[in-house]
Structure 1
Amino acid sequence: MSQAERDFSDTELLRYSRHILLDEVGIEGQRKLAQSSVLIVGLGGLGSPAALYLASAGVGRLLLADADTVELTNLQRQIVHREDSLGLSKVASAQRTLAGINAEVQVLPLAERLAGEALLAAVQAADVVLDCSDNFPTRHAVNRACMMAGKPLVSGAAVRFDGQFAVFDPRVADSPCYRCLFGEDGEASDGPCATFGVFAPLVGIIGAMQAAEALKLLIGLPGVPLGRLLTLDLRSHDWRSLRFKRDPACPVCALRQH
């Protein structure tokens, strides 16, 4: 019997009791999480906290995509990995950690850099997609696949002390996509951590925000910040919210399902 077809056990009711006590979530909201699938692209600094929170919250199925292996420099901030995971693929390392947190969650590791039809298939298999990658080509590819599949996308980025965050939902009429905000003719990377460094708690903050918006989308809670780019300067802890609109000439928005 699938997670979607059965009632919660007493143990699960106890595990998720703090969610169930929330009027905005309740037993029905928790049931929606148990029936949902999330794709996380990138199991680094952003994907690590996002995966931990989504598994802890009881999302039924997590698809984890990353082609890299765990290195010692990752452990400063990529909190889903452990010292005994050095040399393992990041998705296998994350799967092992998540199994120790919540064995009820189904984790599907995809040890590859998703592209083309494989990326589109993974997006189509998810209810919400989290882009936790660290380069613009991947972000644009994920955005394109989400527009084509009609799936909401939660995007995050972090380098040095600066983070940013945005949500895109092609199911909402006239809502913008990632391409409306960032063109595809920019630099191939916004600053890899290996070159510029990153303050460890920053990726935890942005990754946790991605998990929070994913849970809101899955449950159907209001207040998802569409059409807004949230930026954080952690040196001063200044938050900014920048509004932006759909580009009527955006070629990616033209791919979205109607």
Structure 2
Amino acid sequence: MSLKDEELARYSRQIVLPQFGGVGQQRLKAASVCVVGAGGIGCAVIPALAGAGLGHLTVIDGDILDLSNLHRQPLYRSREVGEPKAALAGQFVRRLNPFTDVNPVEHRITGDNASDLLTGHDLILDGTDNFATRLVVSDTAVRLGIPLVSAAAVQFQGQLGLFRGAPCYRCFVGDAFDSDDCDTCAELGVLGALTGTVGNAAALLAIRALAQVGDDPAGKLHLFDGLTGEWRIMRLPADPACRACGT
């Protein structure tokens, strides 16, 4: 996939990287990513992916903007409170990069519609704030054979990982969190800057996977402690009895 002169200039600081180059940029332009959740994580992921030159971006979020979102969701403005987040995110992407095709979806993802919404993408990036939705997205990604970057932030703790088949996200959290009554950041709280840190790290993980840059990070969980500023990495074992990816 060729790049126009304006794209070469726009992405020149990436293209000059020897590990990335024109080949990596072309891979990004050819790729399609679905971001599930346009909240704190998504507000870091969306501009990072669009700015980097992703070819197609789907944004799924059924929520409207609330005043309490603004401390951690810098895509939005006070005057936009009450408007759909997905539509606002789509407007932002179009202003940022005319070369990124964006499709805002103003629906909540559920077990009934997940396959239809996620099919056809090269990678899914989940930044939702509850276990039940994350498990629906993960199980669907496994079933469709699509790599998943799952990212979460609550209080001062962040976590993210790239899952490609087994182990999957369900191998990590198990079957105890499928109900909708699990705690979210609305109950537990979250520091606004934490979601930006984790979201940008998740975008970097996605770009590395799509552009095929660096080591394959699949199967590793990255944990961030906002109180110490330290990252640690743990390798996740596959659960042979996992109902999503197990044998």
TM over 0.5: yes
**Structure 1 gap segments, 5+ residues each:** none
Tell me, yes or no, if structure 1 residue 197 matches structure 2 residue 189: yes
Retained in 2: the 8 A contact 1:213–1:224?
no
Tell me, yes or no, if structure 1 residue 210 matches structure 2 residue 209: no
Q: Distance in 2 between matches of 1:84 and 1:236?
A: 35
Determine the structure 1 residue equivalent to 2:223: 231
**Structure 1 counterpart SS, 2:70:** helix
Q: Distance in 1 between matches of 2:164 and 2:108?
A: 23
Counterparts in 2 of 1:204 and 1:249: CA distance versus 1, 3 Å: same
**Structure 2 gap segments, 5+ residues each:** none
Q: Distance in 2 between matches of 1:189 and 1:102?
A: 38
Q: Distance in 2 between matches of 1:167 and 1:49?
A: 17
Tell me, yes or no, if structure 1 residue 26 matches structure 2 residue 21: yes
Root-mean-square deviation (Å) = 1.6
Q: Distance in 1 between matches of 2:182 and 2:192?
A: 17
Q: Residue type matched to 1:124 in 2?
A: T
Alignment equivalent of 1:158, drawn from 153, 156, 165: 153
Retained in 1: the 8 A contact 2:57–2:103?
yes
Q: Distance in 1 between matches of 2:22 and 2:151?
A: 29
Tell me, yes or no, if structure 1 residue 184 matches structure 2 residue 175: yes
Q: Tell me the TM-score normalized by structure 1.
A: 0.90
**Structure 2 counterpart SS, 1:155:** strand
Determine the structure 1 residue equivalent to 2:83: 88
**Structure 1 counterpart SS, 2:234:** strand
Determine the structure 1 residue equivalent to 2:234: 242
Alignment equivalent of 1:108, drawn from 103, 110, 124: 103
**Structure 2 counterpart SS, 1:154:** strand
Q: Tell me the TM-score normalized by structure 2.
A: 0.94
Retained in 2: the 8 A contact 1:63–1:107?
yes
Retained in 1: the 8 A contact 2:239–2:246?
no
Determine the structure 1 residue equivalent to 2:211: 219
1:189-239 deviations in Å (ceiling 9; x for gaps): 664222222111100011011111111111112323222222111111122
Q: Distance in 1 between matches of 2:66 and 2:23?
A: 40
Which moves more between the two structures, 86-95 or 111-120? 111-120
Determine the structure 1 residue equivalent to 2:3: 8
Retained in 1: the 8 A contact 2:167–2:219?
yes
Q: Distance in 2 between matches of 1:254 and 1:19?
A: 39
Tell me, yes or no, if structure 1 residue 139 matches structure 2 residue 130: no
Determine the structure 2 residue equivalent to 1:68: 63
Q: Residue type matched to 1:12 in 2?
A: E
Pairwise CA distance, 1:240: 2.1
Which moves more between the two structures, 215-224 or 91-100? 215-224
Counterparts in 2 of 1:47 and 1:57: CA distance versus 1, 3 Å: same
